[in-house]
Amino acid sequence: YYELPDGTRVDLRKTSAGRDLCRLPELFFSDEIPFTKSHQSQTTHSSSSTTTTTTTAKRTSPTTTTTSPPTFSTLPMHELVKSSLTAIPDADVRKELCGNIILCGAASLFPNLEQRLSLEMSHAVPSMYRCKVIASRNTMERRYAAWIGGSILTSLGSFQQLWLSHAEYEEYGAVLAMQRFP
C-alpha cells in the first residue's frame, strides 16, 4: 500500500501501473534496458507479408561504444560494484572494501535493495571475499548522504584551498582546472 498525503491508501498491486511501479527497482539489476529505440518493436515489410521482430537493448560494458554519455554506465548495479572492486590492484584493500559496501542516496530507499545487492554481490565475487552491504536505518540520512558529505567536505579548511574561484576560471579557463584536478 502507498499512503497519499491526504491519508488515502492506494493498493498499487491492483493496477497495471502500480505493478510496473513495484518492478522499477529491478532495473538496477537488469542487463536489459527497456524503453530504448532498439528495445521497441521494429516492423519489416516484405512483398507477401508483414513481419514484426523485437530486439532488446543489452547493457554493455564501459569499454563498448554506446549512445549514452561517457560518464554514465549502463551496467547493472552489482556489476558496477564488481568492476570497481576489480580495478583495485591490492587484494587486501579489495577484500576490505568488499566488506564495507555502503548504500546511500534516495534510490537506496527502495524496499529490500540492501538484501538484493548483497545477494547479487555474493554471486558476483569470489567466495573468499565476504561482501557486506551497509545501509543506514535513518531514511533522512540515506536520502541526503551526498549533501551531508559535501557540506562536511566544503567546511574543511584544507578543502577550501582546492577551490577554483570564478575569477581564476575567468582568467585561466578550463586549463587551470585540468592542471589543478588531473
- Give me the average pLDDT of each 10-residue run along the chain (182 residues): 81 76 82 63 39 40 46 81 92 93 89 92 90 91 89 87 85 84 72
> What does the alpha-carbon distance between residue 44 and residue 126 come to, in Å, rounded to a whole number?
45
C-alpha cell at 115: 538484501
Model-wide pTM > 0.85: no
The DSSP result for 77-95, as a single string, is: HHHHHHHHHHT---HHHHH
Q: How far apart are CA 95 and CA 99, in angstroms?
A: 7
Tell me how far CA of residue 106 lies from CA of 27, 44, 111, 140, in angstroms. 15, 42, 12, 9
What integer pLDDT is reported at residue 37 of this predicted model? 58
User: What pLDDT score was predicted for residue 36?
Assistant: 60
Closest CA to 42 of 33, 32, 51: 51
Q: Are strands 133-134 and 101-102 parallel, antiparallel or unpaired?
A: parallel
List Cα–Cα distances, 7 to 1, 10, 13, in angstroms.
11, 10, 18
- Which helix or strand (DSSP H or E) is residue 102 part of? strand 101-102
DSSP bridge partners of 133: 101
